[in-house]
Amino acid sequence: MKLEENFNLKGKVALITGASKGIGEAIAWVYGKAGAKVIISSRKEEALLPIVAQMKEEGIKAAAIVCNVGDTAQIDRLVAEAENIFGGIDILVNNAATNPVFGPIAETELRTFDKIIDVNLKGPFYLSQKVTRSMKQRGGGSIINISSVEGVNPGYGLGIYSVSKAGLVMLTKVMAKEWGMDNIRVNAICSGLIKTKFSKSLWSNEQILEGVMAKQPLKSLGKPEDITGIALLLASDAGRYCTGSVITADGGLTI
């Protein structure tokens, strides 16, 4: 098999959450260029529609569906609409996340805890559970959970976010073990500090950035495009023997 065929996603349908910007949008573009039909999802339709329009201009079959993954009823609708548009789902990227607080866990309110867990852990669990029916019917699939190095080694100020991302790593392994018999692969990517709007409060803080760079062998801030190659590997036949894997892309921060 030729190298490009290994990474080809023609005939596949990919659903990416949190895809209106940052890592999610970057992955959606790479999947589309690799031949997949792409469904991008986020909480705000006005952020999704321009991306879909641009994708269609470039020959990518794409659609947008609004969904807050912290709401299980909206997840039900997301999956139903996605299956109705393109007939099924082969690839799921659980990228949507939230972190509405920066500070010590002693000061974290219970409602904030619930919100973080609902979006970062419960949402990926429920959405993955829902798409497996379609994946089984289509002979298998690939689920990619976007976790974080914060779920491996917790820093300061991101306490419950770290807890949620650690849970997502273990959820990845549990799903991989249980769903492998159905040819459904489940892997996680633990990203380091990536220059996105989501993490701006970190990389725009000179003291925090200097602290990260002091520990990181590669002295540069990550970009969303630094995650897309791994995401393509895990979605394609090139990664067909990978499941339960937790891959870090962090410039060496966790060494």
Cβ atoms within 10 Å, residue 155: 17
Q: How many Å apart are CA 133 and CA 203, to the nearest integer?
A: 40
Residue 42 backbone phi and psi in degrees, to 5: -165, 180
- The H-assigned helical ranges of 38-71 are 45-57
**Residue type (1 letter), 127:** L
Q: How many Å apart are CA 226 and CA 127, to the nearest integer?
A: 25
Distance, first Cα to last Cα, the chain: 35
Lookup: tokens for 78:
């997301």
Catalytic, 161? Answer yes
| 3 state DSSP class of 104 | coil
Question: How many C-alpha atoms does 158 have within 13 Å on its Cβ side?
Answer: 22
Q: How many Å apart are CA 67 and CA 24, to the nearest integer?
A: 14
List the catalytic residue out of 31, 126, 156, 161: 161
Question: How many C-alpha atoms does 149 have within 13 Å on its Cβ side?
Answer: 17
Residue closest to 165 by CA, chosen among 188, 184, 198: 188
Active-site amino acid positions: 161
